[in-house]
Structure 1
């Protein structure tokens, strides 16, 4: 068969036509799941950030670091930065989840046919996650900068509004977006691990089942697959994004030499070394596994409750029906 004949033989590409209401539901579900999970993880994130930036806590574990903070600063210190965390991930989560559904569909359409989309599904996942995260991070960066400043610099401000206002007054737009490049370096690998690994884990699980078994999965089985896939995806997201997460904390505390952001990141990475870049990885893996698995579970529940359709699947086991 010639190339032209093979191309004609390929089946038409059929994908769901999401409406504006569907994307609104995706955004709402993403916003709710990200806000709830990141808000709940605030105490762990406080300890993780302090381990990264405070020399006195650099060699502490999650548990011992938390005890140290409570003993010296009180239990309320573990909730530092809750405001910007909740608001930041409200807009970022909505933008990321809705954006992933949108861009995954766009890249799948560019593939042109079922066979090509399935063949390059990993590239489609990577592209969809990366582009969605880029735009979501434009919304997140100012609030993340405020959160890190509140956590790493005790007494900086009393909360989100006062901290945001102080940064705006003293540092302006440049201060809010000083960490934009490292946030991209952190969040894009994070999103890649989160979405791509989750998709591939589901594919592995479903590939071992017959179509009838999959249709008749119990709620418990679906929950177990989603939870396991989310935990594995969370571990991957944490490992891929850890170095940039450490550098982001340093940048937002004002560490590093003067110069371009690329130069500062390079010098901070040299100073930290391999071990320093992965300081706090254990606590962050625990946090991220909970975040990612929780987000996918909540996202699915809220999306279904809003009557939105499931996202586009291009797993290999469904290559005959996209």
Structure 2
């Protein structure tokens, strides 16, 4: 195996480890996601389960975490020395997001309906969606998910790269992995906060039953307007605390591991070049 092939293989292994770590983090922080979903539910926090059964829907979430990791790799793995880096980061991650949503949205639909106690088991939720809504029912909220994730990605990764570059220039050295993890946490938290209204709209759309879903209330804009008119603009920030905490912690660990992997492999490459 050539040195280049060996380097690429090691990088893939390191990124796979990072993705696995990301899945583990998502699992550990799953209660925060459940609390966020219940806070955003139109039925209300207590009616949706309160603090009981905060791991409801975990299996579906674990299944959907793999494409999320793929999306992150596309965003994080761009060459930072390329011209128009910010644009490339956004384009790569946005493309990854659209691709990931084809797999992740069905798992998100099942997860959120279980989180709000509409169903007790994954199989019951899947059977109900198939029976009452058909295959397309699994893609309820697809466009609203994309409409949330693309702005999130276009905020998170450019901010992350800006923070890293500015801090590195300030310190006069390459940024350390633990420092990258910190800035990844900050960038993720900011992006999570800014896109919370879109997340609320996405949650509301996904939780609609077939009888509730009409052409007037399954769109992001119409859902946004209805929430503001009927419940007030403050409702659009429901669940912002758990969402920011969950994404900040997860982003710091994943991006920190990614930077650690890149640094280690670069050091190995330098040693190989000296031989």
Q: TM-score, normalised by structure 2?
A: 0.79
Residues in 1 aligned to 2:213 and 2:161: alpha-carbon distance in whole angstroms: 40
Equivalence for 1:13: none
Equivalence for 1:278: 237
Aligned match for 1:98, one of 56, 73, 77: 73
Residues in 1 aligned to 2:73 and 2:5: alpha-carbon distance in whole angstroms: 14
* Structure 1 gaps, min length 5: 1-15, 58-64, 109-113, 311-322
Go from structure 1 to structure 2 and tell me whether the alpha carbon gap of 1:257 and 1:222 turns closer, same or farther (over 3 Å shift).
Answer: closer
1:116-195 alignment runs, 5 A limit = 117-118=82-83, 120-152=84-116, 154-159=117-122, 161-195=123-157
1:188-203 alignment runs, 5 A limit = 188-203=150-165
Q: Are 1:295 and 2:254 counterparts?
A: yes
Equivalence for 2:272: none
User: Number of matched residues?
Assistant: 256
Equivalence for 2:64: 88
Equivalence for 2:219: 264
Residues in 1 aligned to 2:245 and 2:255: alpha-carbon distance in whole angstroms: 16
Deviation, 1:40, is 1.3
Deviation, 1:297, is 2.3
CA deviation profile, 1:96-115 (whole Å, cap 9, x unmatched): 1332356x35xx8xxxxx6x
Aligned Cα root-mean-square deviation (Å): 3.1
**What secondary structure sits across from 2:180 in the alignment?**
helix
Go from structure 1 to structure 2 and tell me whether the alpha carbon gap of 1:239 and 1:227 turns closer, same or farther (over 3 Å shift).
Answer: same
**What secondary structure sits across from 1:258 in the alignment?**
coil
Equivalence for 1:319: none
Aligned match for 1:50, one of 34, 38, 47: 38
Q: Which moved more, 1:245-254 or 1:190-199?
A: 190-199
Q: Are 1:40 and 2:16 counterparts?
A: no
CA deviation profile, 1:209-245 (whole Å, cap 9, x unmatched): 33xx43xx7xxx541x123202211222202321221
Q: Is the contact between residue 34 and residue 90 of structure 1 (CA under 8 Å) also seen in structure 2?
A: no
Residues in 1 aligned to 2:221 and 2:72: alpha-carbon distance in whole angstroms: 31
Equivalence for 1:314: none
Residues in 1 aligned to 2:103 and 2:215: alpha-carbon distance in whole angstroms: 25
Larger radius of gyration: 1
* Structure 2 gaps, min length 5: 268-275
Equivalence for 2:270: none
Q: Which moved more, 1:230-239 or 1:26-35?
A: 26-35
**What secondary structure sits across from 1:184 in the alignment?**
helix
Deviation, 1:26, is 6.3
Equivalence for 1:78: 54
